[in-house]
Each structure stands twice: as C-alpha cells, then as structure tokens.
Amino acid sequence: MAATADAKRHAVEVVRRLRREYPDAVCSLGHRTPLELLVATILSAQCTDKRVNLVTPELFRKYRSAADYVRVPQSEFERDIQSTGFFRNKAKNIKGCCQVLVEQYDGEGPNGMDKLVELPGIGRKTANVVLGTAFGVASGIVVDTHVGRISRRLGLSEHKNPEKIEQDLMTLVPKQDWIALSHQMIRHGRRYCTARKPKCDECPLADVSPRLGVET
C-alpha cells in the first residue's frame, strides 16, 4: 500500500483513537520471563490466549528453565499441552527451540529478530511478540487474525498475508506505536470489530472506518 500523506494521517488518527480507547492494552498471554512468553506464544498458534492461559500456570511450575523442556520426554510434554491443539508439532518446536537456547545461549532467549527467527517454530509474529513485550524492542508489528482483519477493514492494508500487512502498517504507523498497536487492535477486535457481526454502531472508530469487507 502506498504511504501517501492522506494514508498516514488516517493511520495516525486510528492509532490515536485506539490509544485513547485502550490505554492499558498489553499482551494477554500470562508470563513472568522471556522464556515463558516464548513458550506461551508458540502454544497460542491456532489456539485462544484464554486456553493457553489455562494451561501455562501448571506448565510453568513444572518447567522452570529451557533445560527442563529439553529433558522431558516428548510424549509426556505432549500430554501437558494437548488441550492447546496441534500439540505434537508444538511440543517438537518448543523442545527444539529450548535445545538451541541451552546449546547456544546459556538457556536464555536472544533479543534480536535475526537470531529469534532461526529458532525452531519461531516466525516473525512470535519474534515480534517476544521482542516487543519482553524486551521493549520495536522490531515490527505483531499481525494475528484480529490485526489482519481490522487493518483491512480500516483501509490500512489490502493484503491477507501477515508479513505484507505488517509492512503496510510499518510504513504508515510511527515506530513508537508499533508495540502497543497490536495489543490495542486485538482488544478492539474482541470488543467491537469481531469477525462476525461487528458492532459498528458502537465502534469508537466508526466515523473514520471505511468498513471494507463488512457486510451491511
């Protein structure tokens, strides 16, 4: 999407409205350390944050370090995370990721995009979550289903590919707003801009939204 002056002004107004509406929006995945956030984010793929947050308290009591995840048998770990769905692949990725952390980073996660995306099961979305939330590094913008849907409806991107949506948002939104924006959009997607039957009549962005793709 072309970052015209009008498009940037529109994006700035959207950011201003979202900031005003959700001033306390933060990552909804429960965690205390970067490692816990990394694990929770991998578990959140194709799963709700609510479900992940039901699983992780016991999981984080049982596994306190990257080495703990490496040592546990695959079958046992699969049972621990089974309710999050796709548990075999998630277990493989988490154990593989932690193996690299133990071998190359003394059990601690790297704080750079280029190193994070080299870890098993880690893509840009997960890396952006960890870097932004755990380290305060604005490496990009987290694009989940809520952010993608809202970006298209607001006319901030016409793409469906998350990385292309992210690039559009990064050209339109000031860097200091990158980390908070995704959390605010997720809150907005849950409260008003739902996938089905969005509450446009109640939406605080209604007068600045073209409502692209919304059935009327």
At a CB cut-off of 8 Å and minimum separation 6, what does 63 contact? 39, 69, 72
Rg (CA), the chain: 18
Among the listed residues 90, 125, 168, 177, the single catalytic one is 125
Distance of CA 90 to the CA centre of its chain: 16
Catalytic, 125? Answer: yes
Query: What is the widest separation between alpha-carbon atoms in the chain?
Result: 55
Catalytic, 144? Answer: yes
At a CB cut-off of 8 Å and minimum separation 6, what does 141 contact? 128, 147, 166, 169, 170, 173, 178, 181, 182
* Residues with active-site annotation: 125, 144
